[in-house]
Amino acid sequence: MKIHPAFLAVALLSPAQASALDVAAPAQPLAAKVERMADLVDKAMPMGVIFEAAMKSDPAWPMQANPAALDATQLACLRGELGQEGTRRNKRAEVEAYVAGHAKQVDGEIELMEAGAADMMNRFMLAGAQGGSSQPQPDVNAIISASTPEQALSFIRFITAPEFADLRKLAGIGDVFDPANSAEQSEKDGERLGVSLGSTAILKAFGPCKIPMSALLAPGHEDS
C-alpha cells in the first residue's frame, strides 16, 4: 500500500487563502466530541476499508507469506482487529484520550475535518491503496478537480499547518508530507507511510489475538 502524493498539488494555494477557514466552532458535549472525532479520523484514514479489501483478495491475508503460522481462531481474530469495526474501536480509545487532553483546540479541529479535510484525505488514501495494487491507476487529478475550494483549503491546513501537528499525529500521518518536497520524494514518503501504517496496525493486533512474534518469521525459521 502506498499513499499517492498528487494531492500535494493543492498546496499551491497560498497560506493566506487557507486562513479563510478560521472561524469559531460550536461547543459540543465531551462524549459527542469523542464520537465525532473518532468518526472523522476513521474516515480520513480508512485503514479498515483498505485492509478489508486485502482480505477479500486473499483469504490468508495478512499472513499470506506464512499461512501455517496461525490457527483458524488466531487468523479470524487478527482479521477482525484489522477490519473496519476493529480499527475504529481501537482508534476510539486513542481519540478519547486525545480529546480529553486537547480540550481547547478540539472544536476547531473537528470543524476543520468536517469542512473537507477528512473527506479529501479519505479519497486520496483509497486512491493510493488502489494505485499500489493490480487495479487500474486511479485518477487523482479528478479528486482534486471534484473538490470545492473550501474542501481543498481545509485539507491543506490539515496536512501543513503547524497548529494541527497533534491532529496529524492522531490520524497517523505526522509531518511526513512536505509541500516543498519534490513529487518523487513525496511518493517515497507516501510509500513509507503506507508500509508503516500497515505494519503498525498488524503488530498492535497481535497482542489481543495472542499471536507470538515468531509468526512473522519465514517458514522453517521459527526457532532460529
**pLDDT tens across 128-173, in order?**
887 655 555 556 788 888 899 999 999 999 999 999 999 999 999 9
Task: List, for residues 45-83, the tens digit of each pLDDT value.
Answer: 999 999 999 999 999 999 999 999 999 999 999 999 999
Contact between 55 and 49 under an 8 Å Cβ cutoff? The reply is no
**In the prediction, which pLDDT does 177 show?**
76
The x, y and z cell numbers of residue 35, run together, are 464520537
Report the alpha-carbon distance of residue 152 to residue 189 in Å, rounded.
21
> Once rounded to an integer, what is the mean pLDDT over residues 194-220?
91
Q: Helices 30-44 and 84-101: crossing angle, nearest 10°?
A: 130
CA distances for 134 relative to 63, 130, 160, 164, 199, angstroms: 19, 8, 31, 34, 20
- How far apart CA 120 and CA 95 sit, in angstroms, is 20
CA 222 remoteness from chain centre: 32
- Candidates 32, 44, 47, 50; CA nearest to 151 is 44
pTM score of the predicted model: 0.80
Contact predicate 106/30, CB 8 Å: no
Give CA–CA dist 78/66, Å, rounded.
14
Please name the residue that has the C-alpha cell 494505485: 131
Grid coordinates in use for 23?
A: 472561524
Q: Which residues have C-beta within 8 Å of that of residue 128, sequence separation ≥ 6?
A: 1, 2, 3, 4, 190, 194
Q: Which of 27-31, 33-37, 90-94, 168-172 has the lowest mean pLDDT?
A: 27-31
How far, in whole angstroms, is CA 96 from its chain's centroid? 17
Three-class SS of residue 85?
helix
Please state, in angstroms and rounded to a whole number, the distance separating the CA atoms of residues 156 and 179: 9
| H-only helix segments in 161-216 | 165-171, 183-206
Cα dihedral angle (157, 35, 95, 167), rounded to 10 degrees?
0
